[in-house]
């Protein structure tokens, strides 16, 4: 079984107009995605933003739940935040994974607009067969910029429901993706 990591990128991502921007870290993204990551056995959840002030703010929130009053108030939140980390760039996350797992992570891009080249069933099978590290990339805003997509080894099919509408929150998209790939 592969070691699966996830990263939530706040840069480079598109805004609604198609410009490449840096989005703000949202508190609910920290909590909901950490809890889903912990539920599905993710090795580490990286919150990626190049803005030092945003990393400072998110770091204060993380520490509250990792070692502060929050850790005593809610031990299940502490468990989820124990695998949550901050970094400035995707390369930093890749470097951390390399130091933890001893190998270069395969990169999987996700997004509502991707013309995915790999299905959930195919990727699920690969994760089961491989023993290396895999990093699933999720974009905030209106999705990952092309420079990230170009680096990915795979891009995953978008999540589709029975309706034509596909505007899930990134929190819902992460939850559904992890359930499809790693749920039992």
Tell me which residues touch a copy of itself (CB under 8 A). 16, 28, 31-32, 35-36, 38-41, 74, 76-77, 79-80, 159-163, 165-169, 171-176, 178-180, 182-184
* CB-CB contact of 71 with 35 (8 Å): no
Q: How far is the CB of 180 from a copy of itself (least distance, A)?
A: 7
Instruction: Name which of 8 and 90 has its Cβ closer to a copy of itself.
Output: 8
Instruction: Name which of 95 and 183 has its Cβ closer to a copy of itself.
Output: 183
Tokens of 94: 């890749």
Query: In angstroms, what is the C-alpha Rg of the chain?
Result: 16
Instruction: Name which of 88 and 182 has its Cβ closer to a copy of itself.
Output: 182
Q: What is the DSSP letter of 17?
A: T
Residue 94: CB partners within 8 Å, gap ≥ 6?
Answer: 104, 105, 135
Instruction: Name which of 31 and 64 has its Cβ closer to a copy of itself.
Output: 31
Q: How far is the CB of 73 from a copy of itself (least distance, A)?
A: 9
Helix (H, G, I), strand (E, B) or coil at 184: coil
């Amino acid at each position: 079984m592969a070691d699966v990591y996830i990263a939530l990128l706040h840069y480079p991502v598109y805004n609604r107009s198609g410009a490449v921007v840096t989005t703000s870290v949202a508190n609910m993204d920290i909590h909901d995605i950490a809890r889903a990551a912990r539920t599905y056995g993710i090795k580490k959840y990286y919150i990626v933003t190049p803005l030092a002030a945003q990393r400072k703010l998110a770091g204060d929130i993380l520490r509250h739940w990792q070692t502060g009053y929050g850790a005593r108030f809610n031990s299940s939140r502490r468990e989820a935040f124990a695998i949550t980390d901050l970094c400035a760039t995707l390369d930093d996350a890749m470097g951390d994974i390399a130091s933890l797992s001893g190998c270069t992570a395969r990169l999987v891009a996700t997004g509502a607009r991707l013309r995915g080249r790999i299905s959930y069933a195919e990727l699920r099978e690969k994760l089961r067969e491989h023993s290396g590290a895999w990093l699933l990339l999720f974009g905030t805003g209106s999705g990952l910029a092309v420079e990230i997509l170009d680096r990915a080894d795979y891009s995953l099919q978008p999540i589709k429901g029975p309706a034509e509408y596909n505007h899930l929150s990134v929190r819902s998209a992460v939850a559904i993706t992890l359930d499809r790939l790693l749920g039992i």
